[in-house]
A and B are shown apart, each in its own frame.
Chain A
């Protein structure tokens, strides 16, 4: 299982802030997790599609498309940050 978190605009658009996902064996990168979620269709397909400004973190570090994801990891998707 991995934990997936959503923040800010993304959390509202997807209607959830957190979920646990059973990781299929062929999924081993952040981009593959994103594609898995996109395949749900609807808001998931729209919000996570390529070209949308989405940032991500794996285990609370900023991550890139090819960042490895393994069982037990905490993955987060969110819009570009606007603090300060």
Chain B
């Protein structure tokens, strides 16, 4: 598995090809790309800056991937998350999961993303027409992560 935190952009096609290379066991690849929107909470967003906690970020995401591997058949997983200054239309995050079958690939990919939203130490600050502001955490993200809690 691979976790990368970087300022530069990524090429989804190239990353997927690298992850699946020479592995004929793979029957399914699920991917998710998060991108910067030009509006949030009703205000136009011209730019955002992402801060993170170096060291803990990688550790937290590696732990999330390990949990996914414990629950679904995951051959390999890749998470790339950008930091620094980003603009609307820019890619922020990429999650790719390879598996034997689509059910495991879809579930693991969504799980990784839901957990990343609530557990990986990143913070967004937005530039809007009325100045800059830190983005507040959303209750809906906690609910999304909570869905995956194992019962019993």
Contact = CB atoms under 8 A, between A and B. Distances in A.
A83 B122 contact: yes
B51 A8 contact: yes
Contacts of B134: 8-9, 79, 82
Nearest to B117: A84
A57 B116 contact: no
Contact of B122 (A9, A57, A62, A81): A81
Contact of A81 (B113, B120, B125): B120
A84 B52 contact: no
A57 B53 CA distance: 10
B69 interface: no
A33 interface: no
Interface string A44-68: 0000000001000100111000000
B56 A76 contact: yes
A61 B93 CA distance: 22
Categorize the interface residue count of chain B: 20 to 34
Interface string B111-138: 0010011111111110000000011111
B50 interface: yes
Contact of A83 (B50, B125, B136): B50
B70 interface: no
B71 interface: no
Contacts of B84: none
Nearest to B61: A83
B42 interface: no
CB-based closest 4 A-B pairs: A83-B122, A80-B137, A8-B123, A60-B56
Interface of B: 34, 50-53, 55-56, 59-60, 81, 92-93, 113, 116-125, 134-138, 141
Interface of A: 5, 7-9, 53, 57, 60-62, 76, 78-84
